[in-house]
Structure 1
Amino acid sequence: MNAMIIQCPACTTKYVVPDTAIGVDGRTVRCAKCKHSWFQDGPTLDLVQEAPLASEVSPVVPRPAAPVAKPEPEPEPEVAPPPAPRPPIPEHPQVEASDAAPEDAPADPVDEPPFPEAETAPPAGPSPESLRDQIRPPRQQPPADFGDPPASPFDPEPPFRPRRNPLKVLNWAAGIFAVVAAALVFAVSYWGLPDWVPVERPTFAAGEPDLQLDFPADQQERRQLPNGTEFFGASGTITNIGTETRTIPTILIVLRDARGRKVYSWEVPPPQRTIAPGESVPVAEAVTDIPRSAREVQIGWKPE
């Protein structure tokens, strides 16, 4: 029984198998290392030369199936099942396919190639590792950003909502109202009501303690000047009837018509700011161009 050397075209691993395992027509085999399957041709038959005697037969080195490279020790090959049954050849019967090599001829990796020049020959084809390195993965494109989707009325609501304490809200409202009311009371008491407030205000201020105004009616003079303007003169006194020195406020003179409506008013500053106990201060003031409808005069203290 002769042996032949086969080589995997993918990983260049060589195996020694009996020629009867391949047959004359060849068969499909599979590499035990890389699991690559290929069709292996059978050995070439020399039909012209007669077979020499057994004693004179020299060991024949089989021709490698393909250029080989430096082998590596690998496990036994696995022979794939034949593609289709063919009629047997009497001279060279085929061997049934099996996953392992026959027991009498184990497929051992060859340590060195039979021909030294085969080491320099290029490999039968690129290995899967080299092809994997040459393949570049596709560039990852960043996902398109379409922004946040519009809110939908059917979106689920959060499971919990903060509850508002109505008592806390009322307390805040009451506190704000109290602060505003206190500020208004202080402003009115200090500056008085503004003029745009539609309320009736007193014409004169309250009487000053220990201060007495004396403006007799016979001392009030009204006449028409030669140029046709109306003249009015007021005369009187301010007396301190108390026992302490007082401050004299501003005097206010108001003229009213026959129906009691105010038609004219003016302020008279005091001749002096303070007055001693028992002292009297005379006051004399005159104005012109007063309304002709003025019929009544009122004199008092100017309100703050």
Structure 2
Amino acid sequence: MIIACPACSTRYVVPDSAIGVDGRTVRCAKCRHSWFQAGPELPPREEPAAAQAPVTTAVTEPEVPAASVEPVPEPPVVPRPVVRPAARVADETFDEAPSSFDHQPPFRPRRNMAKVWTIAGVGFAVLVALLVALATWLGLPSWLPTAHGTFGSGNPDLVLAFPSERQDRRTLPNGTEYFGASGTVTNVGKQPQEVPPILIVLRDAKDKVVYTWNVAPPRELLKPGESVTINEAVTDVPKSAKVAEIGWKPE
């Protein structure tokens, strides 16, 4: 039998046995539409002609049986060939061979992660090199904690000497922590030099600054070859203070 899709009118040639007498659900391979296809119509059954009643006449003759009428078989119907792929029935999709002209999604190549990381590393190295060059040329900004050291550079003609043996660190009888230091400042140059303030820094065992104080020199100006002695002491220093550092106060 020949069936046609009610949605797109595509026609298919299928055997009667595939549809069955009761019909079944089929699906179009072209538009994917599903519908219920009724079974083939059966030819009506022809009842044999009723036997004719015998006719009695005055003349007695033997009864002749009535001739039975047999249906004449109809000539077979030759189906017209339809150039379509045969439909696959029973809730299956009619699949057609894929065409080389069908639209295909664009190909997306996989990312090469090694290449991506290499490019990122090169970019980071270039950025670091640029920052180092700028810091070398312009100097570090003042807001950075490493822009200034703990001590100032001072004057090379002024020699600051606070030997460790002249530093005193002890606990007083009343429990107060005491620290004292004694040293000298000498002008080794050939010109009078101004003496800047002195900075004393106390650090703990982890090299962390725990206490600082400024020392004003007893003399603000030293002549060439002249020295001045400085004696300083402070109480209530932290108990964690272990090391003392003495230098010029930064500007």
TM over 0.5: no
Given the two structures, how large is their TM-score scaled by the length of structure 2?
0.43
In the superposition, the TM-score normalised over structure 1's length comes to 0.36
